[in-house]
Amino acid sequence: MMENQKIHTHLLSTKKTMETLKKLNSLPGVSGDEKDVSDFCIEVYTNYDLELISDRLGSIFGKKSGNSDLNVMISSNLDQIGLMISDIEKDGLLTFIPIGPVDMKFLEGEAVILLSRTHEKSLGYVVKKNDKLFIDAGYTSKEMALENKVKIGNFAVLRPEFEILQDKFIVANNLSNRAGIKVGFDILENLKDETLEFNLFVGGITHSIIGQRAAITATTTINPDLALVIDASYSEETKPGLYVRNFDPSMLPNLLLKEDIENELELAYNQFK
């Protein structure tokens, strides 16, 4: 009976995880315009009765107070790559520039979601004309595009895709930017009834695709004694795994801390298997 209960609980947990990841994947959040993702995080943090901490660039954290002045910060990225409308042609086609490392040669034929300043959404497709890429949203003139709230500087994102293969593998076009946010939610769930010996800040940082300035403002706001960044990265391994980054152009981790984290991750991974 207990084993059946465990299986049932696992299935429910997996279903909830998939639903949350699908929701996060669907939220547009081009660098500098992460409000939809931020609002969703605020809803989750509020449900845990956490104090909300934000900075001037829009990064958002939930604070779980502990029994000391030590601050532990666990962060992920809120934003994603996208496109910005750079001009509106007379025939209604839209020119654009990439925000972040967008591989332009693979964009032709892709469906995109155009966002107004208030995030009203409309569908478009990337098309090629005279060897140049445009977004075609069905507008037949510049005036028609303007009437539909298209403005230079508006953002567009690839249409969200989220599929589950063999009940365990996720195929999604925005997972790397949102998986870490979901891990943060899980940490809060696991610690919701715990009394901590430190103040825990869990949240997301804006503007990560275009640089590190928001990481600076977020850490300045929180002033952590220990900071961990959770991210998803490409790997040639096909089996699940946990990885610790040894080098980043802007940071070299404390070696003793890295050793402790690697030992804890190995223990957790063995238990997961």
pLDDT tens string 194-242: 999 999 999 999 999 888 889 999 999 999 999 998 888 776 776 666 7
- With a CB cutoff of 8 Å and minimum separation 6, the contacts of 162 are 21, 22, 25, 26, 170, 171, 172
Provide, rounded to the nearest whole percent, the portion of the chain with pLDDT above 70: 92
In Å, what is the CA distance from 147 to each residue of 75, 128, 175, 270? 40, 24, 34, 57
pLDDT tens string 4-61: 333 333 334 578 888 999 999 999 999 999 999 999 999 999 999 999 999 999 999 9
What is the model's pLDDT at position 8? 34
What is the model's pLDDT at position 145? 97
Type of residue found at 201 = F
What is the model's pLDDT at position 239? 67
- Helix (H) / strand (E) element for 94: namely strand 94-99
Kindly report the pTM of this predicted structure.
Answer: 0.87
pLDDT tens string 117-175: 999 999 999 999 999 999 999 999 999 999 999 999 999 999 999 988 887 778 888 88
Cα–Cα distance measured from residue 67 to residue 74, given in angstroms and rounded to the nearest whole number:
18
What is the model's pLDDT at position 77? 93
What is the model's pLDDT at position 88? 98
